[in-house]
A and B are shown apart, each in its own frame.
Chain A
C-alpha cells in the first residue's frame, strides 16, 4: 500500500519547506494523500489488520514520505491503537471491509495531476486556492435531513428511530437521494469512530448531541406529553445539525464510516456507546486521566499562533457560556409570559361575559381573543429563541470543547516527541557507558536501541509538525464556518422577531376599531 503512494508533492518533504508556503497549501497535501490512500484499502492481504484501518480510513499522520516510511507507518499504527481509546478495537473488528467504492471526487483529481509538476509554487498556490473555494462552494452538494422520529419497541428496551435522508450529486454515493433509519446510539457510534480516527491527528470532529437518561426514559415509558415530544424534537434537530456539520467537513465526508452511516440499510449496533457499559466507564476513566495529564504537560510553545488561538478559544468559550445562560433565561421567561397571557385572556373573556354594557362586553371579548393569539405568538417566539439562538450557542460550546481537545492532542503529541528525545539521550548515555565498560554485546544492543529511538524522535517531530499543520488548517476552516453559521442564524432569528412584531401589529390594528366602537 505504501508502494502505491505517489511521492509527496514536495521533493524532499522536509517540514521546513512547508513553512515557506501559505497555510492553505496544507489542505492540498492532506487531501491528496487521503485520496491516494483510500482506494488502496481493498488490498488487505499484505498488511496487518490494524494498518488497513489506519491507512485507508484516516489521513496518514506521516504524509511527508521518507523512504523508510513503511516501517514507521506500521510502528505508528500499533502505537496509535494502544494510546487511544479502547473503543478502537471493537470498531476495527466490526468494520466490514470493503464494499467501499473508490473515492474519486472529481474536484480533487485535477490537483493530483498538477502535483507532479511542483516546479512552479505560484501555480500551485492558485490552484489550491481554487480548489479550496470550490470545496467551500456548491461542489459540496450534499443535504442531510433527519425526520420522522418513530418509537420502536416497548418499555425500557424501546428506542426512537429517526429517518436520515441524503440528497446529493456527489458521485461517491451510489444514489442521488436515499434514506435510512437510524437510532441515537448509531449517531454516537458514528461520532465515536470518526473521533478515534481523526481527533488525535488534529481534525476538529463535530461532537454528537448529548445523551439524556431522563429524557429518554420518559419517552421509553411512553409518556405522550408535551415535554417528551419537545425532547424528541430537540433531539431530532440536534441530530440533523450534527450530521450537517459533519458532512460539511471535507475530510470527514470522504470517510467510509460516514458513507456507510448514510447509505447502508443495516448498521452494526454500536454497543460501546452506552453510558454505563464497560467501554463507557473506561471512557470516563480515560477522560479523567487525560485531564490530569494535561495539567502536568508543560509545553514549550514555539509558535505564538497556537498560544494566541488557545487563548482566543478559551475566551470565546467563556463568553458563549454566559450568553447561552442568558438566552436560556430568556426562553424560560418568554414561555412564562405566554402562559400568563393565556391565563389573562381567559379572565378577560370572563369579564367580557359579565359586563352588561354590550359594546364594552364585545370589546372585552375581542381583547381576550387578541391576547389568546398573542399567547400563541409568544410561544412560537420562545421556540425560535430556543431552536435558533440557544441551540446554536450550545452547539458551539461543545464544538469549542472539541477544538480544545484537538489542541490538547497536539500537546500530547509534543510530549511524545519530547519523551522520545529524552529516551534517545538516555540511550546515548547508556551507549557511552558501555563504550567505557567495553562490553561489546551490550554496545551492539545499545546501538540498535539508539537507532530505534532516533527514528522515533524523527517520527515524533514529523507527527508534531503534521498535527500543527492540520490544526492550523482546521482552525481556519472552523472559523470560516463559525462566521457563516452565526451570521445565518442571527439573520434568521432577527427575522423571526420581525415576524412576531408584525403579527402584533396586525392583531392590535384589528382590535383598535373595536375599542373605539365602545359607545
Chain B
C-alpha cells in the first residue's frame, strides 16, 4: 500500500536513537498494513544476514495482540530485568474517527455539497493519519528491539519475525487483565514499601538522582502530552471551522451583483487555503510534539519499571543479607543463606550495571530525539507561517487593487 511507504519516512515519531540507522545486520520494517473492521494486519518484513534465521528476507503478517504478547514476553523475562524494555505500541484506535465519519454520513441538511465533500475529505485524512501513526508506532517498537544488542537475540523475537503461521495469541482474557492490573498495584505498593523501609539505603547517588528525576519527569511529561493533544485538537477544530466559512463566502460571492462579488469569492478561496495550512500545522504539532511527548512518557515509564526491578533486587539483597546474618548468629543453614545472598548480590550488581547503561542511553536518546523534533517543529511552523503570510498578502493586494 503506497500510503505506508510515506509513513515509514515522515510519519514515524522518530524517537529512536541515531544508531538505529547504522546497524544493518537486522532490518525490520512494516512494509504494508491493512485495516479491516476492527483489526489491523501488519506485514512485518525482515532483512537479515544473521545466522538465527532460515532465510535472508522474509515477511509475516501480525496483529496488534501479537506485538503485545512479544512485549510481555520480554517484560516477564528475568534475563532482561536490567534493561529498559521498549514500550508496547498502543492499540490501534479508530473509534473516534469512525464515529465522526458516521455522524457525517447521517447528514446535516444545512451543509452544502461542497462543504460535505470537504468535511468528508478532512475526516478521511484524519483516519489515514491515525492509521499511519499506528503503523509507525508498531514499527518503531520492532526497530528498537532489532537495534538493541541484547534484546535482538531473543528467541521469541525470532519466532515473531519469522514464524509463518498465526501465533495464536488471543487477547488477554478477564483474569489476565485483572492480573495485570493487580500487578501494577503491587508494583506501586512495592515502590512505596521499598522507599519507606528503613535500612534500605540507596547506595548509589546516580540511582537516587535518577529515581527522583524519573518520578517527576514522568508525571510532567504525561501532563505536557495531554495538553499538547488538546492544543492540537483545538487547532484541528479551528481548521475545520474554515470549511463552512469558505462555503458561506462562496455563496455570498455568487449571489452578489456588485464589486463585493470578487471580494467574497477571493476570500472564500483564501479561507480554503488557510484551512489546509492550519490543518498541516495541527498535524505537524501532533507528530513532532504530541507524539514525541507521548513516546517518551511511555519510555520513561519503562525506565521507571527498570528502577523498580532494581529496587526489588536491592530489597532482596538486603533481605538476603539479613537472613545470612541471622543464620550466622544461629549458626544454622549458613551455606544456603550464603549462596542465596551471593546470588542476590550478583543479580543486584548485574541489574545496576546494565540499568546504569540503559538509563544513560535513555537520556541521550531522549535528548537527541527532542532536539530533532523541536528543530523540525520550529522549521515546519516557520514554513507554514510564511506560506500563510504569502497567500494573505496576495489576497490583500488583489482586494486593494480592485476599484
Residues of A within 8 A of B (CB): 312, 315-316, 319-320, 322-323, 325-327, 329-330, 333-334, 336-337, 340-341, 343-344, 346-348, 350-351, 353-357, 359-360, 363-364, 367, 479, 482-483, 486-487, 490-491, 494-495, 497-498, 501-502, 504-505, 508-509, 511-512, 515-516, 518
Residues of B within 8 A of A516 (CB): 371, 375
Considering only residues 238-263 of chain B, those with a C-beta below 8 Å from chain A are: 238, 241-242, 244-245, 248-249, 251-252, 255, 257-260, 263
Contact indicator B378/A508 (Cβ below 8 Å): yes
Report the bound CA distance from A506 to B193 in whole Å: 51
**Of A333, A350, A505, the contact of B223 (CB 8 Å cutoff):** A350
Known: A333-B241, A482-B260, A509-B382. Is A360-B367 also a contact (CB below 8 A)? yes
Pair B224/A347 contact, Cβ less than 8 Å: yes
Known contacts A344-B228, A479-B258, A509-B382; A360/B241 CB under 8 A: no
| Cβ-closest chain B residue relative to A482 | B260
> Which parts of B372-401 form the interface with A (CB within 8 Å)?
374-375, 377-379, 381-382, 385-386, 388-389, 392-393, 395-396, 399-400
- A344 and B289 CA atoms in complex are apart in Å by 11
Min C-beta distance of A79 to chain B, whole Å: 37
Please report the C-alpha to C-alpha distance between residue A139 and residue B249 in the assembled complex, in whole angstroms: 34
- Given A354-B217, A367-B374, A494-B395: A504 and B381 within 8 A (CB)? yes
Q: A330–B375 contact, CB under 8 A?
A: no
For chain B, the count of residues having a C-beta within 8 Å of the partner chain is 57
State whether A337 and B374 are in contact (beta carbons under 8 Å apart), knowing that A315-B255, A319-B248, A329-B241 are contacts in the complex: no
Q: Give the shortest distance, in Å, between B392 (CB) and chain A (any CB).
A: 5
Chain B residues lying within 8 Å of A355, measured Cβ to Cβ, are 217
Complex: A163 Cα to B259 Cα, angstroms: 36
Q: Across the interface, do B260 and A487 meet the contact criterion of CB distance under 8 Å?
A: yes
Are A330 and B263 touching (Cβ within 8 A)? Answer: no
B contacts, CB < 8 Å to A = 110, 209, 213, 216-217, 220-221, 223-224, 227-228, 230-231, 233-235, 237-238, 241-242, 244-245, 248-249, 251-252, 255, 257-260, 263, 267, 270, 274, 363, 366-367, 370-371, 374-375, 377-379, 381-382, 385-386, 388-389, 392-393, 395-396, 399-400
The answer to whether B389 and A505 touch across the interface, beta carbons within 8 angstroms, is yes
Which of chain A's residues have a CB closer than 8 A to the CB of B399?
487, 490-491, 494
Within the complex, which residue of B234, B363, B367, B378 is in contact with A340, where a contact is CB–CB below 8 Å? Answer: B234
Return chain A residues, CB-CB under 8 Å to B396: 491, 494-495, 498
Partner of A490, one of B224, B237, B267, B375: B267
For residue B235, which residue of chain A has the nearest CB? A337
In the A-B complex, list the 8 residue pairs whose CB atoms are closest, starting with the nearest: A323-B248, A337-B234, A515-B374, A518-B371, A344-B227, A326-B244, A347-B224, A504-B385
Give chain A residues whose Cβ lies under 8 Å from the Cβ of B242.
330
**B263 near A486 (CB under 8 angstroms)?**
yes
Asked if residues B231 and A498 are in contact (CB atoms below 8 Å), the reply is: no
Provide the residues of chain B in CB contact with A497, threshold 8 Å.
274, 388, 392
Whether A347 and B227, one on each chain, are in contact in the complex, defined by CB atoms closer than 8 angstroms, is: yes
B379–A512 contact, CB under 8 A? yes
Known: A315-B255, A351-B221, A494-B392. A515 touches B378 (CB 8 A): yes
Could you say which residues of chain A place their CB within 8 Å of the CB of B209? 356
Q: List 10 A-B contacts (CB under 8 A).
A: A319-B255, A329-B244, A340-B230, A353-B220, A354-B220, A360-B366, A486-B263, A491-B400, A501-B392, A518-B367
